[in-house]
């Protein structure tokens, strides 16, 4: 995969968020700006945009920026990817903050200033938890290791899209419930903070043990994925 294809993946993620936002606004019409209590689909606009962008980022960092320069990284590699990965996550959170700022005028028009600000803060914490979750099971060095495609895309992509919709609308319903009163907002904030801290703690515990990084990752051969290679070896 080339960097151009990675940029295409990021563009696709942005397109998903924008398409969802336009569909929701078109479905509710201009009356959505006059509702006292907007439906959960309206709260899902910003959440879908955030999660789509994070998925695009997680996909893009799996693509090596300059494969020919990997040897320079290997020469200076100290065996600890934690600080490098943390820096990539911080850069992603900057993009999240920019997106939230860009969407703030729309949120203010939909919800009012107070609810829009709290909803944006909720989105920031959710993005931090989701980003840690996306990096939770990978030990590859972002932008530096070889790209390994998904082995079962026909299963993973539909399951991932269904999970995206599920997380988006469940969180949208929770945000709509939590932003109705100050007490509910405090309860929602504590629950969301606990989720973010929990995912962060699990990530740190998993990365406490140092493991070798495979800079030249390759997809498993078709014979190995189907179990044919083991059968041939046993027969010989």
> Nearest to residue 103, comparing CAs of 124, 83, 87, 73?
124
223 pLDDT more than 50: no
Q: Tell me the pLDDT tens digit for each residue of 134-161.
A: 888 777 777 777 666 666 767 877 888 8
The whole-number pLDDT of residue 20 equals 65
Give the residue with greater pLDDT, 137 vs 100.
100
Note the pLDDT of residue 35: 56
Residue 11, pLDDT score: 58
- Domains identified in the chain, total number: 1
How would you class 28 by CB atoms within 10 Å of its CB: exposed for 0-12, middle for 13-18, buried for 19 or more?
middle
* Residue 201 pLDDT > 50: yes
Q: What is the pLDDT of residue 236?
A: 45
Domain that holds residue 76: 3-235
- The 10s digit of each residue's pLDDT in 4-33 is 444 445 555 656 666 666 666 566 655 555
Mean pLDDT (the chain) is 76
Confidence of residue 97 (pLDDT cuts 50, 70, 90): very high
| pTM to 2 decimal places | 0.74
């Amino acid at each position: 995969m080339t960097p151009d294809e990675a940029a295409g993946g990021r563009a696709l993620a942005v397109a998903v968020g924008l398409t969802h936002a336009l569909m929701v606004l078109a479905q509710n019409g201009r009356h959505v700006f006059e509702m006292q209590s907007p439906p959960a689909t309206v709260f899902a606009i910003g959440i879908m945009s955030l999660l789509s962008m994070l998925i695009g980022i997680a996909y893009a960092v799996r693509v090596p920026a300059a494969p020919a320069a990997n040897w320079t990284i290997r020469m200076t590699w100290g065996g600890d990817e934690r600080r490098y990965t943390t820096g990539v996550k911080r850069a992603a959170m900057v993009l999240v903050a920019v997106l939230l700022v860009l969407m703030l005028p729309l949120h203010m028009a939909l919800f009012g200033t107070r609810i829009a600000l709290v909803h944006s803060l909720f989105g920031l914490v959710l993005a931090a938890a989701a980003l840690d979750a996306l990096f939770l099971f990978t030990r590859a060095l972002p932008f530096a290791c070889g790209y390994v495609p998904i082995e079962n895309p026909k299963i993973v992509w539909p399951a991932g899209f269904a999970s995206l919709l599920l997380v988006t609308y469940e969180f949208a319903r929770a945000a709509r419930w939590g932003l109705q009163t100050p007490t509910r907002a405090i309860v929602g904030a504590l629950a969301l903070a606990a989720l973010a801290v929990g995912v962060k703690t699990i990530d740190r515990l998993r990365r406490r043990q140092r493991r070798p990084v495979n800079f030249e990752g390759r997809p498993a051969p078709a014979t190995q994925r189907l179990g044919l290679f083991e059968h041939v070896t046993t027969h010989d």
